[in-house]
Amino acid sequence: MGDDQQGFVASNMLSLAQAKVQDECVPLAIYDDDAMVGFVMYAKDRTDHQHWIYRLMIDQRF
């Protein structure tokens, strides 16, 4: 993530901690063949029962 984008999305560490305590959160790596290029986390919302993308990051090199 570029320095100019730091405030747009939570860190991966925070996202993984959230997924640890909130079972509905599912963190996944995004790959292009064998290269990891990003991170996504989705969850089924407890209130509206819809699936939402909570985090989405693609490495600035991609």
Which one-letter DSSP state was computed for residue 7?
Answer: T
pLDDT at position 37, please?
Answer: 96
pLDDT at position 3, please?
Answer: 74
What are 11-37's pLDDT values in tens digits? 888 999 999 999 999 999 999 999 999
Beta-sheet pairing, 25-32 with 35-44: antiparallel
- Compute the mean pLDDT over every residue in the chain, rounded to the nearest whole number: 90
pLDDT at position 12, please?
Answer: 85
What are the structure tokens assigned to 41, written together? 């986390």
Q: Are 51 and 25 in contact (CB under 8 A)?
A: no
Q: How many domains does the chain have?
A: 1
pLDDT at position 2, please?
Answer: 67
Residue 37 identity: V
Q: Are 19 and 26 in contact (CB under 8 A)?
A: yes
Q: Return phi, psi of residue 18, to 5°.
A: -60, -45
Average pLDDT over residues 27-53: 94
Range of the domain at 7: 3-58
